[in-house]
Amino acid sequence: MDKIQLWVRQVLEACGLEGGAVAYVSHVVLVILAILLAVVAGLLCQKILVPIVLRLTKKTEAKWDDVIFSRKVLMTACSIVPAIVIWMLLPWTFYDFPTVREVLTRLTAIYITVMAVRTLIVFADSFKLLEDGPRTARQQYLYSVCGILKIIVVFIAVIVIIAIIINKDPTTLFAGLGAASAILMLAFQDTIKGLVAGIRLTNNDMIHIGDWVTVPSAGANGRVEEISLTTVKIRNFDNTIITVTPQTLVDGSFQNWLGMEQREGRKQVRKVYFDFRSLTVDDDGVANITKFRHHIEQWLRDNPKVIGEKNPLVRQAEAAQAGCCVEFIFWLRSQAAIDYEHDTSDIMEYIYATCTDYGLRIYQQFPEQ
């Protein structure tokens, strides 16, 4: 670089410049050369290096390299290269202006720090594109870890930028954060608990995007749309969205209907109580409630909404003060929430209406009883 400085001075002197003009003009020329080198370095990365990496990733069968080394990630990383070139050339560009050199060096270092953090965040966010369907436990855990790493990286970057501005060693600032960190942990203890709960929620494979969940304490009953370290968004079946914290799910109780949806059908167990006074026996010695049970059982087997292969059962349960108990056990084919509710209602309404054909009365307790 010293040879370049000397060559620039010789060229300027050959052009007729003398004295202090040579120093000022040489600085201008060196600044222009540094900017040109930075621009060329950035263009080389964007126009040559990035296309080469993209072609190499497309030749592989794996999907992860296409996502992690996507154009967005690579182009963001390339934006750091010109700044690095400028930062390296500053000592030789402003060799006679130490104050200007010091200010520009700090500004360039801040820019490099910010763009490096941005590159890491874009890189971490690219893992979302690996999801082909509902997140697996590993994907959710990785997503949670990436969220924590982004927070840590931003925090470290802020400390580094402050150290650059005040011209201090960053390790000195980190050493002085001992007492401050204790105060921060006390102030943000609820947030920290939420982060830990989010990790437990995803690491234990308790919930996934697309799951049908019911959270009684929050009044939520619908599909999970989004999972983050601090919130879980659930869209109810009336299209309202309820946001709950992972800590609410971990500390409380909730129902996840994933197992039911992954298996064939959903089991239903319903009970109906009949008035003992309506039970009769015909001339063949068969009770009307027996004929009713056999009819309903056969009707359930033939019903297209019911899985007949699982042998629906209508059985006599233990009698109670409320009346003669008949239990209906069957498996519905429908798994969607609305279809499931409709099919259950259709079946039970048929049972209620049919019992009168056999002279049976459903037990009803009136206020005066």
Q: Given 130, 157, 192, which residue is the final one in a domain?
A: 130
Amino acid 292: pLDDT? 95
> 271 and 173, same structural domain?
no
Is 174:227 a contact under the CB 8 Å cutoff? no
In this structure, is residue 366 part of a structural domain? no
Cα 144 to Cα 109: distance, rounded to the nearest angstrom = 30
Helices within the chain (DSSP H only): 2-14, 20-44, 50-59, 64-68, 71-78, 81-93, 98-125, 137-166, 170-175, 178-187, 189-203, 246-251, 258-262, 288-302, 337-354
Angle at 265 between CA 259 and CA 269, to 5 degrees: 95
In this structure, is residue 268 part of a structural domain? yes
Map tokens 């009044």 to a residue: 219
Question: Torsions phi, psi of 367, nearest 5?
Answer: -55, -35
Distances (CA, A) of 239 to 15, 114, 254, 265: 77, 40, 20, 25
Distance between start and end Cα atoms, the chain: 105
Question: Torsions phi, psi of 233, nearest 5?
Answer: -100, 130
CATH code (residue 315): 3.30.70.100
Name the token pair of 316: 């006599």
> 101 and 139, same structural domain?
no
Strand arrangement of the beta sheet that strand 241-244 belongs to: 241-244, 232-236, 220-227, 212-215, 255-256
Instruction: Identify any residues that bridge with 220 across adjacent strands, giving them in sequence order.
Output: 215
Amino acid 354: pLDDT? 93
Q: What is the mean pLDDT of residues 121-149?
A: 67
> 124 and 2, same structural domain?
yes
In this structure, is residue 367 part of a structural domain? no
Is 194:245 a contact under the CB 8 Å cutoff? yes
> 59 and 4, same structural domain?
yes
Beta-carbon contacts of residue 66 (< 8 Å; ≥ 6 apart)? 57, 58, 60
> 121 and 137, same structural domain?
no
Q: What total of structural domains would you count in the chain? A: 3
Q: What is the mean pLDDT of residues 335-358?
A: 88
CATH code (residue 208): 2.30.30.60
**327, pLDDT greater than 60:** yes
Distances (CA, A) of 122 to 149, 198, 312: 12, 22, 54
DSSP string across 302-321 = H-TTB-GGG--EEEE---BT
**369, pLDDT greater than 50:** no
Q: What is the mean pLDDT of residues 355-368?
A: 78
Q: Give the range among 60-74, 96-110, 262-276, 313-327 with minimum mean pLDDT.
A: 60-74
Amino acid 45: pLDDT? 87
> 310 and 211, same structural domain?
no
**222, pLDDT greater than 70:** yes
Torsion of CA 107, 112, 113, 114, to 10 degrees: 90
> 182 and 114, same structural domain?
no
Band of residue 341 on the pLDDT scale cut at 50, 70, 90: confident
> 126 and 137, same structural domain?
no
Cα 89 to Cα 101: distance, rounded to the nearest angstrom = 10
Is 246:325 a contact under the CB 8 Å cutoff? no
> 137 and 126, same structural domain?
no
> 153 and 124, same structural domain?
no
Q: Given 92, 108, 130, which residue is the final one in a domain?
A: 130
Amino acid 142: pLDDT? 66
Cα 196 to Cα 19: distance, rounded to the nearest angstrom = 68
> 77 and 40, same structural domain?
yes
**349, pLDDT greater than 90:** yes
Domain limits at 225? Answer: 133-257
Amino acid 367: pLDDT? 44
Q: Given 228, 257, 286, which residue is the final one in a domain?
A: 257
Q: What is the mean pLDDT of residues 254-263?
A: 69
